[in-house]
Structure 1
């Protein structure tokens, strides 16, 4: 089968429509219904868990029989199961759709298989249409489906000799303005930012994402504070534009699962050393950002403490992704040499 230019244009339109929906537990999905002559008959997008999926939303704008012989262009493979809503594959068949094009395969254990159902019913199906663009759109959501939890980035700043603070506990600032600006830019890419109560009590961070002039960036990650000690009523984090979440649980897997259920797809762990080490020790780190300043501090306050390594053979090996100079500082970006095992996630 050949994909026509008008169908590729429709996929680009569907990708744009998908962005109208919320990013969260469910994927952002857009759909366009084309007449046989290439005219757009209807458009739709998914508005969140429990609402009609994009294909059904688009079909709802048409009269009975109007979609007969039409083509459905959708950014994600039509689902094949009944959850809060019915299977999109059956809705397309009932509407008389004769051709379906989609960008990304559905990775769901339960929801996948819509393409096979459509083909078995005699519908022409074309997969991976503008697939790279579709996967880029759904990158964070697809990662959650693969891992069974949000993607976790752990960040720390350190001196050249691996210290996160001076012996008296002071740490502002180890790195320079360029490095700190980069941190804020990356914070704004996350859905949640996690710190321990030790960091809150020692540094009183606001946990906001700001530009070089100190103004708040458009997207703010939700602050999450983990620890049993109480966060003071006057702490800066309590003035964050998003409501902070305070958790006493030491079970990081459970914390991440709770955040996943809240629609969090990307987590930014900012410290301190105890919390960062706990994530590393638990094998829950997908990316490390190490900001290294050309300074020597000495003393006991290491950037990481116990990560469960007793001998060199147990070292947590990483693959270096990039090295970037930020003013006088260096940013090392690394990922685990061994990728986490795929996890099965229940479809929402």
Structure 2
């Protein structure tokens, strides 16, 4: 019987946040991205209708177009991106062992294709965010440019968390009142990031293709874009793994691993393959009792667990170590 595993890309397979790195290609783009990323968190947490975690990748499109970011830029960053420790070893071992390996990523498709190809994951097993950015450049008029440039200046006066109310009020007006009537707004609406419920939908499409219920799946994620996918698999009785995760993902997972090497999951996945969830739980609880060593092997069984404070602390520490600046994003 085949086993099925779906990875989020940014975090579990590569520490880089591609959208964040793209925004760094122009002056102050990192600061603008941090504010918009926080806005994304705020909308996701309030569960605004029609909005999904990760829609940041739609919201930043006008800024990418303004600064003439191209698909070639995305591919170049992908070529430079590091892989998470042990990712190649884990993926190759799983495939050798007969697993079917998938990637469901909010990342832009050119980036996801490059990284997954490097890891040997088949392209037809990858779901990611389509971005026809090169076709958007001709659509940006002078009025659009002025509107976006002014927004950039205003955003640079805001700070995540301390200015949350102002961020929400200002960006609500910019993205949903001013921008929709512009060519930039129309371009933004063409991009549907694969996050939140769209990740679940992608997983369900893959599961339906192989006629396997989610109880037969392992999924690995780390952020707010993944929590619904983790939750769906956990509720189905599968294995939902939070890897170097933040406080948005951990409560939805079956188990957690905080480590600089994702290959530390090998024994747990072997146990899942041999005896499914019960055997995997036994391994995780044994490892949790033994404790991690340094920056590796911090396991926690999370299903049914209420107090996650200590788990969040260790995950945040390792997340920051592995993902650096990107580790602070939702």
Please state which band the TM-score falls in when normalised by the shorter chain.
under 0.3
TM-score by length of 2: 0.25
Larger % of strand: which?
1
TM-score by length of 1: 0.24
Q: Say which structure, 1 or 2, has more relative contact order (CA 8 Å, 6+ apart).
A: 2
Larger % of helix: which?
2
